[in-house]
Every structure is written in structure tokens, then in C-alpha cells.
Amino acid sequence: MACPLLRMRALQACRQIRSFSGTTRRNAADVKSLGVIGAGQMGLGIALVAAQKAQVPVTIIDTSDKALSNGLAFADKLLAKDVAKSRITQDQADQARALLKPSMKMEDLSSVDFVIEAVPEIPKLKYDIFGHLAKICPKHAILATNTSSISITKIAAATTSDPTDTSASSRVVSTHFMNPVPVQKGVEIISGLQTSKETLDTAVEFCKRLGKITSVSADTPGFLANRILMPYINEAVICLETGVGDRDSIDAIMRNGTNVPMGPLQLADFIGLDTCLSIMKVLYQETGDSKYRPSVLLGKMVDAGWLGKKSGKGFYDY
């Protein structure tokens, strides 16, 4: 009788250990530090919101010292604006700013609890980053991507060469923030095929700590937001190129007819026409559905370097 009893007690102990070891992943309150890869507008926005709302130290990684300097200058500008409008006090601004730590070394993420990658939509770049993160981050760390179109399952698969080893891939998830991050409340949470429920739950709860409203999407091309938004923008561009309406009429009817804050062409400029084109290409290639064919005009404008607000010229001049 002793052996079955010992086995039963051992099984109970193992269950308790598994339950305890999973608490970091299940409980977003246990996320004490964050890493953000990419010091651009999205990455810096995520880092700043985390410092302000969750009040956790944030390590911002970028390969460019100039990008890091520009990103922190942008954070200073946003904080100063909030102080000037009495949204926060100067002490609160100083506390948030002190939590932002720039670095050019990925190895500085070796002790963080949660990482969010926010680099350009280049699949190989993201795959390489996640392969490296799987090696250097703690075994409990959530590995999140801000991708707007690339398969989470493919990104998760890049963490190992052995598909049976899910120790890292089960911790990969997407936290797709809306732009601009400090203003927009929405965050899209996407699980890959390998993503564990613990990882998904932690990602949802951590984003709520950042004051965001979460929506959960399946891992399909474009997910929820871009599956709906990008064809809308693309169709507006097609209407322009085929002469259905001019720029101002297209944007005016959507602003005044559907009560959106900006029309589709102006919105495309703010998102970046290169980003819009990239997402449409992914939708078209992944689904094979002709309704996602990118507008010819959109491709030409990207070829011309007219990328929207960030280049000074798009459908509008800036």
C-alpha cells in the first residue's frame, strides 16, 4: 500500500509545483518588468504607457542610438504635453520617464518578465528576434509581438528548431496595439497554434493593466482589425484611382456619413502607405482572394516614396 500512497502524494506535489510555476504566466500582476524592442513611434508609445499605467521599468532596445535618442525625446514631448494640460503632475511625469531605460543590447532583456517586439513588418527580422529571445529571456517570460499581419504561429515556430519543444513557443502571443498607443484604447490579442492559455490570459490581463480594452482574434491573415480596416482603405484608394470620387469627397463622405474622426485616405497617410501596402499584400498572398488585391495607385505612391505623414507627402501634403 505504501507505493501507491507515495505515488499519489508525489502526483499531488507535482500538480502543486506546476500550479505554482505557472502563476507568473497566469497572473499579470507578477509582471514586474517589461522589454520593448523597437524605439519607433509604436515601441516608444507602448513603453511610455507601461511606465505610466503599470509603473514597471521598461528596457527599450534598438540597434540605432539615434532611434533611441529620438524615441526618448518623443517621450519627453508627450509627457510635457500631459503636464501642460494638467493630465498628470510633473512628479508623475518624472517618475514615468525614470522608468524608461534605453539599450542597444538584446542581452539586457535577460531578466524581464514580458517582452513586446515592435519592429517593421519584415518576417525574417521578427523570426530572428524571437529565436534570440527564446535563448536569452527567462523561461517564464511572455514573448509578445506587435505584428499587424504576420502569422503568430510562424513567429512562435521560429523560437526553436524542434517543433516538439514548446517551452518557448507556448509563451509567444501577439499584443497588437492601435496607433497612437497613448491615445487609442484598443489592443488585439492573437494566439498562435502553440500559445498556451496561460500566456493568452496573462497578455490580456497585462494589457488591461495598461488601461487598454482588449479584443481576442484568431491567428488568420490580418487578424480582426486589419482584416476589416485595410480593405476599407484599399477600396477608398481604388475609388480615387478609378475616378469614382476625388480625395476630399471620399474622406468627407466617410467622416460626415459614418462619424469617423478622419477619412480613409487621411487615415492611410497616418498609418503609412507602405504599411498599408504591406498588409494588403499579406492578405492577398495568404488568402488568395482577389478582393484583397492591393490598389495599383497605392503601389505607385509607395514606389514614389510618398508614404504619408512620415515622409511629408501622401494623399495630403504635410
| Known binding positions | 38-43, 62, 121, 126, 148, 179, 310
Burial class from Cβ neighbours inside 10 Å (0-12, 13-18, 19+) for residue 293 reads middle
Q: Which three cell numbers stand for residue 202?
A: 496573462
The answer to whether the beta carbons of residues 169 and 141 sit under 8 Å apart is no
Point out the annotated binding site for NAD(+): 38-43, 62, 121, 126, 148, 179, 310
Beta strands in the chain (DSSP E): 34-37, 58-61, 100-103, 114-117, 142-145, 172-177, 186-191, 213-217
Q: How many Å apart are CA 224 and CA 216, to the nearest integer?
A: 8
Tell me which residues are annotated as active site. Answer: 148, 176, 188, 226
Q: Give the count of beta carbons closer than 10 Å to the beta carbon of residue 269.
A: 25
- Centroid of chain to Cα 238: 28
